[in-house]
Amino acid sequence: MSLSDEIEKLSIWQKATPIAGYDTQIWRQDKYGYVMQYNQYGQTSQFGWEKDHIFPASLGGANTLANYQALHWRANRQKRNYII
């Protein structure tokens, strides 16, 4: 992963909700309550997460940091290309 990709990943991660009492560099929660672990990015594991378009690219959403959010992979599959 390039440095710019890592910076983008960290910026998206920081938009997720901190979990009280846990290291926010390692653990966060997505908007649906799923717990995610930073080093599980791109994994379909218990704490895996992905970069998601808030406004889907297929509907004209931009590929910008402002339009990205961290979502647990299961939530991302359920959301699909909907705006929720």
pLDDT the model gives residue 42: 98
Share of the chain above pLDDT 70, in %: 96
Task: Tell me the pTM.
Answer: 0.90
Q: Quick one: DSSP state of residue 65?
A: G
- pLDDT digits over 36-56, tens only? 999 999 999 999 999 999 999
Contact status, residue 16 vs residue 28, Cβ threshold 8 Å: yes
Q: Does residue 82 surpass a pLDDT of 90?
A: no
Using CA atoms of 31, 14, 42, 56 in order, give the dihedral in degrees to the nearest 10: 60
The pLDDT, as a whole number, for residue 84 is 62
Sign of CA dihedral 36, 65, 75, 32: positive
